[in-house]
């Protein structure tokens, strides 16, 4: 969605990938310590150290991370904060200032306000419940898996070299797998496309049980889900129902 919006508005997409342990320094800014050290050494040799401390903590030595880059952009950009549910509660609280006032605080420089308020998208896989404060600052949109016909359209658009029969069978097969409640990580659209490209590279024009067995790891990314598939669904049954 972030890439599509960036294309629609003809602007830059800035992406922040969230993970456990993400903090302000990695998402907002860091000081360029190597450049600062080089400046110290040069000034010591030249004997000009009067304004050294002020110079070292100027914007010239600031390394912009995604949040600061989005706020300081010369035009409106799309900011994608991806998988925010993987971050910690502390980082979530830090986002409040950014999403409420679109400004950040850098102790050495003061408050930096957005030149242009970015278009912000937060994604979540619901691995944990997000705080009410963060949700209050967002418009909630739930994106379910596409239906069979819609997934056929997606495969046609992204993997046009796949034949009509193979495309339809893949869409039905993925939909069938997603219906099993014991499959924990349902195949995503990107995994459907990866699977399709794999079968195309094998010169397949239809889905065969042996192909499913040999390429299942492109679709199901955990040992537990693959075991559920083999015990509860099976390649023969999948092909028969597709």
List pLDDT tens digits, range 16-74. Answer: 999 988 888 889 888 888 887 887 787 777 666 555 555 777 778 788 899 999 988 99
Q: What pLDDT, on a 0 to 100 scale, did the predictor assign at position 75? A: 92
**pLDDT, tens digit (0-9, with 9 covering 90-100), for 186-195:** 999 999 999 9
Architecture of domain 1-28+65-143: 3-Layer(aba) Sandwich (3.40)
Give the largest CA-CA distance in the chain. Answer: 81
pLDDT < 70 positions in the chain: 46-54
Q: What pLDDT, on a 0 to 100 scale, did the predictor assign at position 24? A: 81
Domain parsing of the chain, residue ranges: 1-28+65-143, 30-63, 148-240
Listed residue (66, 67, 44, 65) closest to 56, CA to CA? 44
Q: What pLDDT, on a 0 to 100 scale, did the predictor assign at position 207? A: 93
Residues 218/191, Cβ–Cβ less than 8 Å: yes
């Amino acid at each position: 969605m972030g890439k599509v919006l960036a294309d629609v508005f003809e602007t830059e997409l800035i992406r922040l990938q969230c993970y456990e342990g993400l903090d302000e320094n990695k998402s907002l800014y860091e000081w360029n310590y190597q450049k600062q050290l080089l400046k110290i050494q040069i000034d010591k040799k030249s004997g000009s150290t009067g304004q050294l401390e002020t110079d070292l903590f100027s914007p010239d030595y600031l390394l912009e991370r995604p949040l600061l880059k989005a706020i300081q952009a010369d035009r409106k950009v799309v900011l994608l904060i991806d998988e925010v549910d993987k971050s910690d509660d502390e980082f979530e609280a830090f986002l409040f200032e950014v999403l409420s006032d679109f400004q950040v605080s850098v102790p050495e420089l003061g408050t930096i306000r957005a030149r242009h308020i970015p278009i912000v998208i937060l994604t979540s896989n619901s691995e944990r419940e997000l705080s009410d404060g963060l949700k209050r600052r967002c418009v909630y949109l739930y994106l379910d898996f596409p239906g069979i016909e819609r997934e056929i359209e997606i495969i046609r658009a992204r993997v046009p070299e796949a034949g009509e029969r193979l495309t339809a069978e893949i869409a039905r097969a993925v939909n069938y797998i997603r219906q099993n409640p014991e499959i924990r990580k349902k195949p995503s659209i990107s995994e459907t496309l990866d699977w399709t490209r794999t079968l195309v590279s094998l010169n397949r024009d239809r889905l065969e049980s042996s192909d499913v067995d040999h390429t299942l790891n492109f679709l199901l990314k955990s040992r537990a889900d693959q075991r559920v598939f083999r015990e509860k669904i099976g390649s023969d049954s999948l092909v028969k129902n597709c």
